[in-house]
Structures are given as structure tokens and as C-alpha cells.
Amino acid sequence: MHLYLVRHGQSYVNLPEWEAPSRAELDAGLTELGHQQAAAVAQWLVKDCPHVDTIYASTMRRARETAQAVAAAYQQEITWHDYLREVGNNRSNHTAYPNDALPTLYRPFATPFTPLVQDDQEAETWYHARGRAGLFLQHLLDHHTGQTIIAVAHGGIISAIFDNICNVPLWRQCNLWLPNTSITYFEYVDRPHPQETWRLHFLGRIEHFQHLAVGS
């Protein structure tokens, strides 16, 4: 299986000066630069990976809009999946917060077991986010062996997927810095091997948008 992980394009939530007009609009879409980045990553993917079996995407708007550009380039449908939502935007049972109840106040990271949302006993922790990332990977292994998959998601959950694949401890001390629409490519090695189950081909690839202004 070949797995391409794509972070969404620049969104209004990435802009430090942006404030949501209302709680229901916290799930903001792409900026103009973000749309340009989405178009650029779609063009690069089709050229570098001409065949894809399934396109998955987070149900959050910035990932949806990015995935729509990718899907249009491949002329394929998108499978939406809540497990790909950004860390902190799902409850501890892995269900998504509705748009009118999205978290507004996140708790500073203390431990992998500390709820990520202030004053919400149902909020997920980093431990829960790692869990749903692992469940998504298991879903791929169960249903897409030997196929090529693109998953459009968010920096935090892509990091959680990376941690599961690379067996990074929960008490991680290094963050992955993944720019908007950066591409990470893993290959699942479907053969017995004592040291290799997954193969990382590249991490955070960005040359497709270097002609554009770089977003956060």
C-alpha cells in the first residue's frame, strides 16, 4: 500500500490576526493562498502519482476544500472520515464536535493524558488522538492492501499517524513541522521483515508550492 498524507492548504485559522465571526464559523475554509496551494499540490500529485485508488479527507472545511481540488484533478470521489480531523476537534470516543460546539479554548499540553480542551470532560487527549490515528491506519490495512491512497488531513493528526507508524513514544519531544499542503509518503511493505513494516519515502515535501508565498 502507498499512502500519501497531505496537509490542508492555508486556512484563515492559520492567520494569527483572524478571529471567527461566530463559534459556528470556527471551522474556516482556505484563504486565497490556500486555494492556490491546493491547486498546486493537486497538479503535483497527478504528475508524480498518476493512479490513486481512494482519496480520504478530514471532514473539517479546510481539509475538505483542499481535498476537492485533489479529487477534481483525479476525477474521483472523496471518502470523508472523522478520524482525520485535527487533534482536539474530536471527543475522547473519537466522534466529531459539531460546528456549533467546536472548542474555543484549548488547554496547554501537559501530559499525553491531559484533555486538550479546557473545561470539557469529553475532550480527547493526545493519547486518544494517537488512538484514532492508529484506527485509521488499521482501516487502511484492512481495506486497501496493495492500493494507493491519498489522505488530506491536518498537521496534528498527520503527526499522530507518523508516530504510530514509527512507534514514537507518547512522551514525544520533537514536533513535526509540516507546512500547508506538504506531502508525506509512506509505503506499507507487505512482506515479513524483522525491521521494516513501513517505508518512509519523504516527509513534508513542498516543492510544488515554492513559486507561491509560503503560508504558516
Name every residue whose Cβ is closer than 8 Å to that of residue 188 and which is 6 or more positions away in sequence: 1, 2, 3, 141, 145, 197, 198, 199
Domains of the chain in start order, with CATH, are: 2-182+201-209 (3.40.50.1240)
Q: What pTM, to 2 d.p., does this model score?
A: 0.93
| CA torsion, ordered 183, 95, 109, 162, to nearest 10 deg | -30
Cα 51 to chain center, whole Å? 21
Average pLDDT per consecutive 10 residues, the chain (216 residues; last block may be shorter) = 97 84 80 96 96 98 98 98 97 94 86 91 95 98 96 97 95 91 94 81 90 60
pLDDT of the residue at 216: 45
